[in-house]
């Protein structure tokens, strides 16, 4: 697999003209775009891509991109991508952005807060017609500053439009979660089923507390996409729901009265009883011992 350290190297490999700036490039994708050839790569910079694939394969890690879904995806540095024989059904764009271009701007830190840079390809952003127009408008504004007589104001203007593009992506993802509430509901149910199976099979005692990564892998979702989906549906993140599930299990075991607090902690996958007690108190408002005494009394 090829690892591109500079944007110039990747643009050249993809057949695009050399970038106007070494730390950022903007290019239009068409049916004749050079990505039709095979390429497997990772790079040291962000990629923001708007495209509708007609044929060929696009893999993000080991996940295959679904031709019929999603128009935008976002990747952060050092993530693997594979393109094989790609052809596009409509015009698109791709932005290559090095982190160093963001230095001195609030986006240097803000961009790390956008979870969609960790989503998988099958979790790409679907755009409604009006949303497409907004994204294209922001791209063209960036392109104008990028290509036409750049001066000392160009960088801040480009980053201002990029900041807007990312904020709109966040808004459109939230709309996407709402539009897919039936799917989200099913995901929340499956999430609970996975948690229940984990404890019923005794995996907690053997492997420790269930992680968001483990449950996400069982549901074929990326951890951050799963957490954002559950947040929209239930108001709580995946980790918060795991904690609530564990506390519910703990309450049931405490009420049964046949195990000590330490035994319950280890049975639920905690490395030590004090950690279990802290989590329990945080969620319930009292320690496991206080809860047990109240129930018994």
Query: 51: part of which helix (H) or strand (E)?
Result: strand 46-60
How would you write 239-274 as a 3-class SS string? HHHHHHHHHHHHHHHHHHCCCCHHHHHHHCCCCCHH
User: Could you tell me the pLDDT band of residue 14, with boundaries at 50, 70 and 90?
Assistant: confident
Strand partners of residue 15 = none
List pLDDT tens digits, range 69-90. Answer: 557 889 888 877 777 777 776 7
The CATH superfamily of 182-296 is Homeodomain-like (1.10.10.60)
Buried b (16+ CB within 10 A) or exposed e, 228-263: bbbbbbbeebbeebbbebbbebbbebbeeeeeebee
Coil vs helix vs strand at 95: strand
Gyration radius from the chain CA atoms: 24
Average pLDDT over the chain reads: 84
pLDDT of residue 155: 92
List pLDDT tens digits, range 157-191. Answer: 999 999 999 999 999 988 887 766 555 557 788 88
Rounded CA-CA distance 72/223 in Å is 19
Q: Which residue has the tokens 């999430």?
A: 191
Domain boundaries, the chain: 2-127, 182-296
Among 2.130.10, 2.60.120, 1.10.10, 3.30.2170, name the CATH number for the domain at 2-127. Answer: 2.60.120
Coil vs helix vs strand at 13: helix
pTM of the model: 0.67
CA distances to 60, 139, 148, 245 from 163, in Å:
24, 11, 20, 37
């Amino acid at each position: 697999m090829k690892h591109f350290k500079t944007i110039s190297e990747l643009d050249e490999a993809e057949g695009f003209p050399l970038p106007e700036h070494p730390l950022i490039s903007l290019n239009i994708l068409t049916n004749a775009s050079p990505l039709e050839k095979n390429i497997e790569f990772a790079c040291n910079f962000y990629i923001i891509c708007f495209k509708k694939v007609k044929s060929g394969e696009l893999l993000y890690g080991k996940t295959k991109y679904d031709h019929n879904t999603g128009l935008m995806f976002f990747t952060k540095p050092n993530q693997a991508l594979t393109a094989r024989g790609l052809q596009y059904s409509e015009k698109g764009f791709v932005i290559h952005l090095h982190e160093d271009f963001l230095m001195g701007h609030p986006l240097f830190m803000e961009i790390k807060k956008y979870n969609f840079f960790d989503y998988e390809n099958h979790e790409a952003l679907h755009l409604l017609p009006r949303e497409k127009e907004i994204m294209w408008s922001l791209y063209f504004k960036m392109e104008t500053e990028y290509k036409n007589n750049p001066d000392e104001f160009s960088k801040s203007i480009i980053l201002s439009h990029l900041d807007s593009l990312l904020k709109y992506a966040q808004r459109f993802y939230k709309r996407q979660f709402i539009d897919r509430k039936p799917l989200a509901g099913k995901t929340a149910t499956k999430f609970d089923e996975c948690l229940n199976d984990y404890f019923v099979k005794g995996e907690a005692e053997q492997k420790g507390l269930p992680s968001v990564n483990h449950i996400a892998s069982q549901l074929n979702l990326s951890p951050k996409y799963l957490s954002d989906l559950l947040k929209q549906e239930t108001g709580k993140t995946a980790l918060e729901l795991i904690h609530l599930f564990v506390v519910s299990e703990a309450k049931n075991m405490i009420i049964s009265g046949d195990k000590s607090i330490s035994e319950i902690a280890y049975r639920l996958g905690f490395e030590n009883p004090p950690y279990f007690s802290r989590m329990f108190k945080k969620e319930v408002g009292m320690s496991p011992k206080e809860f047990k005494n109240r129930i018994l009394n």
